[in-house]
Structure 1
Amino acid sequence: MSSRPAKPRWWLAYSLFFVLALLLVLIEWLSLAPTLKEVAQIASVIFTLTLLYLWAWANADALNEEWRTQARQTPPAPTEPVPTPEQRHYRRVMQFHHLAKPRHTERDCVP
């Protein structure tokens, strides 16, 4: 027995959608009364979603391990966004004008 958890069987989860499609095609192909057809369609969707829930429950450990592995491999987001060339140019221009502009004192504002 290996110590690593088994990988989730994704093919099984994907095949459930094909099962749903086949059930809906079969229901459409059968000559059912409109009310019975609607009940059968709802029942087939509930049946497929129940199977998908059971698949997720059975593969919970493998899914958690897969998500943890992906989270460790994903680099953290930068703390400060990288400025675009336009933003860098705007900052340089604003810093230049801020430094080049003469500073007014309170004495200059008094008449």
Structure 2
Amino acid sequence: MSREYAKNVQGLPERLRQNRKMRGLTQAELGAKAGIAAASVSHFETGQRAPSVASLVRLADALELSTDTLLGRGSANSTMRVDPIFLRASRSSAKTLDLVKKVTEALMDESQEK
């Protein structure tokens, strides 16, 4: 394992745990989505083991994050907490995205009026 990878893996357990919990997933559910054993996810979250690059990519894909974000190398904007529903919406058609934007704006306007 390279020094750079080892250095970046140091904060990985907590980032992995936070992102999994933010998405309402159990370790078993994340493992299933990523094609990784739940025990391995547990080991990664406790820092007992560091994931291989292939496992890191699978975890990032399952969490809909970049590997840079999991490694703590992303910009401040990329590590902001974003609800997974907005991540899904951002990948929708232009028509769906426009509808989500209008509904969100209406809800925000309503909450500011109160």
Common fold by TM > 0.5: no
Normalising by structure 1, we get a TM-score of 0.26
Where relative contact order (Cα < 8 A, 6+ residues apart) is larger, the structure is 1
Q: Name which one, 1 or 2, has greater alpha-carbon Rg.
A: 1
Q: TM-score, normalised by structure 2?
A: 0.25
